[in-house]
Amino acid sequence: QKEVEQNSGPLSVPEGAIASLNCTYSDRGSQSFFWYRQYSGKSPELIMFIYSNGDKEDGRFTAQLNKASQYVSLLIRDSQPSDSATYLCAVKTSYDKVIFGPGTSLSVIP
Amino acid sequence: DGGITQSPKYLFRKEGQNVTLSCEQNLNHDAMYWYRQDPGQGLRLIYYSQIVNDFQKGDIAEGYSVSREKKESFPLTVTSAQKNPTAFYLCASSGVSRSDLAKNIQYFGAGTRLSVL
């Protein structure tokens, strides 16, 4: 089992819809969780991080964490074509390493 | 402005040649990392350093070497032993925050694209 898993996509959503990106992790003791956005040919940039169970909202982005299910998600409301990118989930494990998932490619169709 | 600077942006390697990728940060971060990214793939950790004069191998260290003589600098050498070096190389750093949790946020440079001639 890989340590951090994401659906590779591509995930296609129409403009204005909600995009839902999912991430599961294997280390039950993982402490904090990060979502990065990476445009094609560019480096990753942090969108949000979360460490408590529940939801954390920042503008159009909501991160959701369920430690019991070892699941973290990112919701993007009112998706825009500029949101088209690859989204990387990263997890800080109990053994003090940050592990990146393979990323999910999102395409927002105008 | 604070940030992470990688150079060069593009690099070409001849067979049998060693090449060095530069990474400099002025964020006063303790930890620095090197990742390799192949097309359509995620990030794979090559080496990381949590303190000056100390570094650890990541998941794919073979064919690579690093040094950490200064806090600000973490150069990566791609040696001739790395037979398939063509990839996008990303340097990142983390640390220095009032929040212990925020200390783990990694900030990335713009990357170096390495190709083989």
pLDDT digits (tens, 9 = 90+) for B26-84: 999 999 999 999 988 889 999 999 999 999 999 999 999 999 999 999 999 999 999 89
Dihedrals phi, psi of A20, to nearest 5 degrees? -120, 120
Residue B108 sits at the chain A interface (C-beta within 8 Å) = yes
Q: Is B29 exposed, middle or buried (0-12, 13-18, 19+ CB in 10 A)?
A: buried
3-state secondary structure of A19: strand
The confidence score (pLDDT) of residue B8 equals: 97
**CA–CA dist A30, A53 (Å, integer):** 12
Q: Do B42 and A88 touch (CB under 8 A)?
A: yes
The confidence score (pLDDT) of residue A12 equals: 97
3-state secondary structure of A81: helix
Read off the pLDDT band of B108 (50, 70, 90).
Answer: very high
The confidence score (pLDDT) of residue B91 equals: 98
Read off the pLDDT band of B1 (50, 70, 90).
Answer: low
Q: Which residues of A touch B111 (CB under 8 A)?
A: 42-43
Provide the β-strand partners of residue B76: B21, B66
Q: Which residues of B touch A43 (CB under 8 A)?
A: 90, 108-111
Read off the pLDDT band of B97 (50, 70, 90).
Answer: low
- Give the tens place of pLDDT for each residue, A60-76: 999 999 999 999 999 99
Provide the β-strand partners of residue A108: A13
Query: Do the Cβ atoms of B109 and B94 come closer than 8 Å?
Result: no
Model confidence at B96: pLDDT above 70: no
Q: Do A100 and B41 touch (CB under 8 A)?
A: no
Between B8 and B15, the more confident residue is: B8
Q: Do A32 and B106 touch (CB under 8 A)?
A: no
Rg for chain A, CA atoms, rounded:
13
**CA–CA dist B76, B67 (Å, integer):** 7
Q: Work out the minimum CA distance from B90 to partner chain A, whole angstroms.
A: 7
Q: Do A44 and B108 touch (CB under 8 A)?
A: yes
Between B16 and B110, the more confident residue is: B110
The confidence score (pLDDT) of residue A42 equals: 96
The confidence score (pLDDT) of residue B100 equals: 66
3-state secondary structure of B81: coil
Structure token digits, residue A17: 């819809």
Q: Do A98 and B106 touch (CB under 8 A)?
A: yes
Q: Which residues of A touch B95 (CB under 8 A)?
A: none
- Give the tens place of pLDDT for each residue, A50-106: 999 999 999 999 999 999 999 999 999 999 999 999 999 999 998 888 999 999 999
The confidence score (pLDDT) of residue A46 equals: 95
The confidence score (pLDDT) of residue A44 equals: 97
The confidence score (pLDDT) of residue B67 equals: 98
Q: Work out the minimum CA distance from B80 to partner chain A, whole angstroms.
A: 25
Read off the pLDDT band of A9 (50, 70, 90).
Answer: confident
From B90, which residue of chain A is nearest by alpha-carbon distance? A43
Model confidence at B98: pLDDT above 70: no
Read off the pLDDT band of A26 (50, 70, 90).
Answer: very high
Output the CA–CA distances (angstroms, integers) from residue B10 to A14, A15, B89, B111, in the order listed: 35, 35, 10, 9
Q: Do B104 and A92 touch (CB under 8 A)?
A: yes
Structure token digits, residue B46: 């090559």
Query: Do the Cβ atoms of B109 and B5 come closer than 8 Å?
Result: yes
